[in-house]
């Protein structure tokens, strides 16, 4: 009897748990533990600013896909031969496999550091990206969709260009990215709605933009739809 309980304990050390049938089950992986809220919106809509507010208000972690890609650009060019800066300069989406790799690394790192509730800013940019992400067992809980007028967004991007040093903060690339966002976002929203995930539209660019996340209460700062 003593021998058997030692055997079970040794097995539990390896697997952490045993299921009811006596078989081994693993604890949830870091990717499975992460609770993700996606944040999307056109260029210059203020996703980063609004995410920073939510970090302060809710204590969630903010991961910006664009920032992660910019930070990892040199390494990815060396390791995978993928030139992220060239994609950005053309206003094009970086291949989904590259995005997925960089996201998985960042999420695993964050969960290991005890941060399981994550705002994923700039993701998804397509339904294909969403499916690949979900296939890795990451759970998307909801999506915040920030919207604003084209004129306001363009002005913000041109203003940001004065100091950002970003290769894509130009009027020509803005037009491409803004159109790309309009084309892709409706399909993404339809997919989320089919999957019965919460999609919250928030108006964050225009006459009442100063109200910012006031519209999360459902009051609408200037009309969210």
Binding residues (CB under 6 A) for ligand AMP: these are 43, 65-66, 69, 87-88, 91-94, 99, 122-123, 125, 129, 168, 177
Q: How far apart are CA 206 and CA 88, in angstroms?
A: 26
Q: How many residues does the chain have?
A: 225
3-state secondary structure of 39: strand
Rounded to the nearest whole angstrom, what is the least distance from the CB of residue 12 to ligand AMP in the complex?
40
Name the residue among 93, 91, 99 with its Cα closest to residue 177: 91
Q: 14 or 63, CB closer to ligand AMP?
A: 63
Q: How far apart are CA 211 and CA 222, in angstroms?
A: 9
Q: 99 or 111, CB closer to ligand AMP?
A: 99
Rounded to the nearest whole angstrom, what is the least distance from the CB of residue 93 to ligand AMP in the complex?
4
Rounded to the nearest whole angstrom, what is the least distance from the CB of residue 21 to ligand AMP in the complex?
40
Residue number with the shortest CB distance to ligand AMP?
Answer: 66
Rounded to the nearest whole angstrom, what is the least distance from the CB of residue 83 to ligand AMP in the complex?
11
* Residue with token string 């399909």: 187
Q: How far apart are CA 179 and CA 119, in angstroms?
A: 24
Q: 11 or 96, CB closer to ligand AMP?
A: 96
Q: 142 or 214, CB closer to ligand AMP?
A: 142
Alpha-carbon separation of residue 200 from 38, 47, 172, 177 (angstroms): 10, 13, 29, 21
Phi, psi of 124 (to 5 degrees): -90, 160
Q: 138 or 223, CB closer to ligand AMP?
A: 138
Q: 43 or 148, CB closer to ligand AMP?
A: 43
Pairing assessment for the beta strands 117-121 and 35-41 based on DSSP bridges? parallel
Rounded to the nearest whole angstrom, what is the least distance from the CB of residue 65 to ligand AMP in the complex?
4
Rounded to the nearest whole angstrom, what is the least distance from the CB of residue 89 to ligand AMP in the complex?
9
Pairing assessment for the beta strands 24-25 and 17-18 based on DSSP bridges? antiparallel
């Amino acid at each position: 009897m003593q021998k058997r309980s030692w055997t079970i304990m040794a097995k539990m050390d390896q697997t952490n748990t045993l299921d009811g049938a006596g078989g081994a089950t693993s604890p949830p992986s870091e990717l499975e533990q992460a609770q993700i809220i996606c944040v999307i919106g056109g260029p210059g809509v203020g996703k980063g600013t609004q995410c920073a507010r939510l970090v302060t208000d809710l204590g969630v972690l903010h991961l910006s896909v664009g920032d992660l890609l910019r930070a990892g650009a040199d390494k990815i060019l060396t390791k995978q031969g993928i030139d992220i800066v060239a994609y950005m300069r053309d206003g094009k989406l970086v291949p989904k496999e590259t995005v997925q790799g960089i996201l998985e690394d960042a999420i695993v790192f964050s969960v290991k550091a005890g941060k399981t509730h994550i705002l994923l800013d700039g993701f998804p940019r397509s339904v294909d990206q969403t499916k690949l992400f979900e296939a890795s067992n990451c759970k998307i809980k909801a999506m915040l969709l920030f919207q604003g007028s084209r004129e306001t967004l363009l002005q913000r991007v041109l203003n940001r260009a004065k100091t950002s040093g970003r290769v894509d903060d130009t009027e020509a690339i803005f037009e491409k990215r803004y159109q790309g966002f309009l084309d892709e976002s409706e399909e993404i929203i339809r997919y989320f709605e089919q999957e019965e995930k919460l999609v919250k539209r928030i108006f964050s660019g225009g006459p009442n933009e100063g109200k910012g996340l006031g519209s999360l209460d459902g009051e609408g700062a200037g009309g969210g739809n």
